Amino acid sequence: MNRRHLLLAPGAAALAALCFAAPMSVAKAQSAPAQSDGQPIRVGEINSYTGLPAFTIPYRQGWQLAVEEVNAAGGLLGGRKLEVVSRDDAGKPDDAVRVAQELLSNEKVELLAGTYFSHVGLAVADFAARNKLPFVAAEPLTDAITWTKGNRYTFRLRPSTYMQAAMLVEEAARLPAKRWATVAPNYEYGQSAVQWFRQLLSEKRPDVEFVAEQWPAQGKLEAGPTVQALAAAKPDAIFNVTFGADLAKFVREGEGRGLFRNRTVVSLLTGEPEYLDPMKDEAPEGWIVTGYPQEQIDTPEHKAFRDAYVKRFNEPPRQGSVVGYATFKAIAAAVEKAGSTDPEKLVDALSGLALSSPFGPITFRALDHQATMGAYVGKTTVKDGQGVMTGWRYADGADYLPSDEAVRKMRPE
């Protein structure tokens, strides 16, 4: 046996592999259109399509609808089409940063949009600041993205964890409950939701006390023991932050073990169709939630959106659909306002940009780049074998933000 060429052959294989990749990418870069009039305006879109399809697919349909509407109405800047290059981030921040680089270098996008997970959103926001590229974060809820880690180039559409917690505190403060228990997934979203809820509720109601807390690992809630541990503390009310599969488990086990008997539950996001629909007739009754009662909102702007969405996709919109739609409507409005695709001008246009969304008028605040989009606050109930919201109202995001002074202190600039 001749073993001399141990290294050469595999080395050649590696080289071949590298060579096929490099020219391909070069070719791609060349095929990307140069900036000029009449060329489409390209937006790079990144989201966790394989990681969280239940949320991101309605979201994708939402932005598809928005883009189609913009282009059907004659495009932007005198006839230039809006074009989206969409990528999956596999739910990992480092992959998202690579994809962002690909969109910037090869696809020559003018701005970035999307992301779901907070850490992915933060990574892309940092990339955007570094490359001076506007980024409209659609879904991530973390307060940090507009406050402690905010930057000039990043904007966020959805009401943040703080805002949604503040909306629920308003309701919670009216309850007679004094003893509270909390259950939240063990990561930043759950922790900051609980922290804000405790702080804001204690400010309004100095008489409340928090008697138990549970921090299940996201996606691995041990429903039985967790429910039992909460019940053992004999709280008057429970603040829940779990969602998705954990929430379904928690509700089922909680009902089975009588946790919710004579107790009010205040719950973040549970009213969103994404989380309410899968529970069908087992959806919890009487929980105070933030959410999106899409079938009941009859404002003209929402009706127009819902009708167009149903017509296009043959299914009712979800929360993600609204987010996707509004994100891209905001981008279109910003391009028109800026009158150009120059990144600095786009950032200036996005700061203070006001537009109409399916939820009504919203503004991207110049102060911290947070949009004032709100959420619907109401109670859950079951109707025709389906969880729905009842007695709801629209909580405008602008009313649930800390003082400008406090925000300025948090932002780095």
Partner 1 sequence: MSFYLVQFLSGLATAATLFLVSSGLTIVFGVTRIVNFAHGSFYMLGAYLGWTLVERWGTTPLGFWGAVAAASLAVGLLGALMEIGLLRRLYRSPELFQLLATFGVVLVVQDAASWIWGSEDLLGRRAPGLRGSVDILDQPFPLYDLVLIGLGPLVLGLLWLLFNRTRWGTLVRAATQDRDMASALGVDPARLFTGVLFLGSALAGLGGALQVPREAVNLHMDMAIVVEAFVVVVVGGMGSLTGAFVASLLIGQLQAFGILVFPQITLVLVFLFMAVVLVIRPYGLLGRAEDAPPTAASPGPPLVAAAGAARWAPALLLALLAAVPLVAGDYALIVLTEVVILALLAASLHLLIGLGGLVSFGHAAYFGLGAYGAALLVKHLAAPMPLALAAAPLVAGLGALATGWFCVRRSGLYFAMLTLAFAQIVWSVTFQWYGVTGGDNGILGVWPPDWAAGKAAYYWLTLALAGGALLLLRRAAFAPFGYALRAGRDSALRAESVGIDVRRHQWLSFALAGSAAGLAGGLYAFAKGSVFPTLMAVPVSVDALVMVLMGGIQTLSGPVVGAALFHLLETEAMSRTDWWRLVLGTIILVLVLAFPKGVAGFVRDLWTRGRDA
Residues 209-238 that bind partner 1 (CB under 8 A): 213-217, 219-220, 222-226, 228-229, 232
Q: Counting beta carbons within 10 angstroms of the beta carbon of residue 187, is it exposed (0 to 12), middle (13 to 18) or buried (19 or more)?
A: middle
Rounded to whole angstroms, how far apart are CA atoms 361 and 350?
Answer: 15
Rounded to whole angstroms, how far apart are CA atoms 275 and 259?
Answer: 20
**What would the two tokens of residue 142 be?**
């973390």
CB of 349 to partner 1, least distance (A): 25
Q: In the window 71-90, what residues touch partner 1 (CB under 8 A)? A: 87-88, 90
Residue whose CB is less far from partner 1, 216 or 271: 216
**Which window, 17-25, 67-75, 346-354, 372-380, contacts partner 1 (CB under 8 A)?**
17-25
Residue whose CB is less far from partner 1, 148 or 340: 148
DSSP letter at 253? H
Residue whose CB is less far from partner 1, 4 or 311: 4
3-class DSSP assignment, residue 159? coil
**What would the two tokens of residue 285 be?**
């009754």
Compute the Cα dihedral for 219, 141, 211, 168 and give only its sign: negative
Q: In the window 22-81, what residues touch partner 1 (CB under 8 A)? A: 22-26, 28-29, 49-50, 53-54, 57
Chain centre distance of CA 328: 14
Q: In the window 163-192, what residues touch partner 1 (CB under 8 A)? A: 186-188, 191
**Which window, 75-83, 123-131, 357-365, 376-384, contacts partner 1 (CB under 8 A)?**
123-131
Which of left, alpha, beta for 9 (phi over 0: left; psi -120 to 50: alpha)? Answer: alpha
Q: Does 299 bind partner 1 (CB under 8 A)?
A: no
Rounded to whole angstroms, how far apart are CA atoms 319 and 375?
Answer: 10
Q: Does 118 bind partner 1 (CB under 8 A)?
A: yes
Q: Does 9 bind partner 1 (CB under 8 A)?
A: yes
Do residues 279 and 244 make contact, with C-beta atoms less than 8 angstroms apart? Answer: no
Q: Does 367 bind partner 1 (CB under 8 A)?
A: no
Q: Does 295 bind partner 1 (CB under 8 A)?
A: no
Rounded to whole angstroms, how far apart are CA atoms 250 and 227?
Answer: 7
Residue whose CB is less far from partner 1, 49 or 328: 49
Compute the Cα dihedral for 282, 285, 209, 241 and give only its sign: positive
**What would the two tokens of residue 105 be?**
């270098």
In the list 43, 112, 113, 123, the residue contacting partner 1 (rule: CB under 8 A) is 123
Q: In the window 138-167, what residues touch partner 1 (CB under 8 A)? A: 142, 144, 149
Give the total of residues touching partner 1 (CB under 8 A). Answer: 90
Q: Does 12 bind partner 1 (CB under 8 A)?
A: yes
CB of 209 to partner 1, least distance (A): 17
CB of 180 to partner 1, least distance (A): 15
Do residues 189 and 161 make contact, with C-beta atoms less than 8 angstroms apart? Answer: yes
Amino acid identity of residue 387, one-letter, is G
CB of 337 to partner 1, least distance (A): 29
**What would the two tokens of residue 339 be?**
């009158």
Q: In the window 246-285, what residues touch partner 1 (CB under 8 A)? A: 248-249, 252-253, 256-258, 277-280, 282
CB of 39 to partner 1, least distance (A): 19
